[in-house]
Amino acid sequence: EMGGYPHYMLKEIHEQGGVCRATIKGRVHDGKVDLSGELAMDEETIKGFKAIHIVACGTSYYASLIAERVFERWTDLDIKVDIASEYRYRDSKISPDTLVVFVSQSGETADTLAAQRKARESGAYSLAVTNVQGSTLARSCDDFLLLKAGPEIGVAATKTFMGQITSLYLLALYIAKIKGTLSDQKQKELTDEMIQLAYKIETILEREPSIEDLAWKFADYKNFLFLGRGMSFPVALEGALKLKEISYIHAEAYAAGEMKHGPIALIDPNVPVVVVAPKDSLYEKTLSNIQEAKARHAPIIAVGFDGDERLASDADHVLYVPSTLEEFSPFVTVVPLQLFAYHVAKKRGCEIDKPRNLAKSVTVE
Ligand code: F6R
């Protein structure tokens, strides 16, 4: 049932092109996203939304942080993203014209369910973005949007993260269409590129042997620092989480611009720095962070776009991914980081599909 793979996690990483494709299928027509047949919210309801809150835990929270950056770029909504175990106890203003989106693969996470009860009491419209149609979350929200990831067995979330970002991007494009905040031409450009992502993801999977080689070189380090800016900051967070949860190596992620506000003190030849550096509008800034880390003799692993030679001259190792529009870079940059974490854990002999102390769904607080 693992389809020839030694672990579910690896199988699920390899399914991600398919998940992206399946999640988009039937939801894009003539360069526009259409979710009208499946969402309960109608156009009037959508036009009435002034704010959006996205609430989740763990990897689902990192997917939400990525979505935050496109919601603020593509729509006119005021956006807030929070961790469910914080949101439920805070005093954020949730009004009836707020759309509150709960992102949960399982739909059973205790803190996410508690946050949903709070939103419901405030009269806001709640939407579940989940992989499990019959889950408690899907049943308690006013509305739900399904990821088409299929069951995920490995405890570390991989293909459901891909399904989450795909679904959230579709939601952002759909809301932008109805609110008229993106031109037809821009919507077409974005949906055309979105359809290409599955192929790009599959290209990265073919490069697994070189990622495995690199993972073997780095499997004995005790601390890692992950850096990224803009769209790549949440990708750095997710890359560090994957590494720590399955290989038990300490990994911290920072917004690259925060480096000189503290974490730079940690950098020395024993702390590899993984920098997510796609060629986007913040690329030059990220490159200067690479140089700062390099000046302190940290081994540098960069994730960058194909053809980016400059990166190769500054970093010790580059994991190349096919280039895409700035907004979509997380779809490609996250994949080598998942494979890197997987192969480091495998080299260390860890129990990859069932890491210690973790459960697939966290139904206690
Ligand atoms: C990490 C991981 C967890 C979950 C988190 C939320 O690999 O799987 O961080 O993302 O427990 O779970 P869901 O999405 O089911 O609410």
The tens digit of pLDDT for each residue in 309-341 reads 999 999 999 999 999 999 999 999 999 999 999
157 Cβ inside 6 Å of ligand 1: yes
pLDDT for 231 equals 98
Burial of 185 (0-12, 13-18, 19+ CB in 10 A): exposed
DSSP-derived secondary structure letter, 315: S
Between the CA of 308 and the centroid of ligand 1 the distance, in Å, is 33
**Which atom of ligand 1 has the smallest separation from the CA of 161?**
10
pLDDT for 330 equals 98
Tell which one of 8, 105, 361 to mutate to probe ligand 1, the residue whose CB is within 8 A of the most ligand atoms: 105
Between the CA of 45 and the centroid of ligand 1 the distance, in Å, is 30
**Which atom of ligand 1 has the smallest separation from the CA of 360?**
8
pLDDT for 6 equals 96
106 Cβ inside 6 Å of ligand 1: yes
pLDDT for 201 equals 98
> Is there a catalytic annotation at residue 260?
no
> Is residue 178 scored above 90 in pLDDT?
yes
> How does 94-122 read in b/e, with b if 16+ C-beta sit within 10 Å?
beeebbbbbbbbbbbbbbbbebbebbbee
pLDDT for 365 equals 84
> Is residue 1 scored above 80 in pLDDT?
no
Any idea which residue has 């996205």 for tokens?
54
pLDDT in tens, 185-213: 999 999 999 999 999 999 999 999 999 99
Q: What angle do CA 344, 161, 101 make, to 5 degrees?
A: 145
Any idea which residue has 């010790």 for tokens?
316
- Percent of the chain past pLDDT 90, that is, above it, reads 94
360 Cβ inside 6 Å of ligand 1: no
End-to-end Cα spacing for the chain = 32
Q: Are 144 and 119 in contact (CB under 8 A)?
A: no
CA distances from 233 to 62, 271, 318 (A): 9, 19, 18
pLDDT in tens, 254-281: 999 999 999 899 999 999 999 999 999 9
pLDDT for 214 equals 98
Token representation of residue 191: 């949906």
- The pLDDT-based confidence of 360 (bands split at 50, 70, 90) is confident
- Look up the pTM and report it: 0.98
> Is residue 293 scored above 80 in pLDDT?
yes
Q: Considering only CA atoms, which residue is closest to atom 3 of ligand 1?
A: 58
58 Cβ inside 6 Å of ligand 1: yes
d(Cα 45, Cα 348) in Å, to the nearest integer?
52
DSSP-derived secondary structure letter, 7: S
Q: Are strands 32-33 and 125-130 parallel, antiparallel or unpaired?
A: unpaired
Helix, strand, or coil (residue 54): strand
Between the CA of 218 and the centroid of ligand 1 the distance, in Å, is 26
Token representation of residue 207: 């490069």
Burial of 175 (0-12, 13-18, 19+ CB in 10 A): buried
pLDDT in tens, 105-161: 999 999 999 999 999 999 999 999 999 999 999 999 999 999 999 999 999 999 999
CA distances from 3 to 8, 9, 10, 21, 352 (A): 9, 12, 10, 20, 16
Q: Are 49 and 125 in contact (CB under 8 A)?
A: yes
Q: What angle do CA 289, 294, 295 make, to 5 degrees?
A: 100
Looking at residue 12, its amino acid is: E
244 Cβ inside 6 Å of ligand 1: no
CA-closest candidate to residue 119, choices 145, 142, 146: 142
- The pLDDT-based confidence of 347 (bands split at 50, 70, 90) is very high
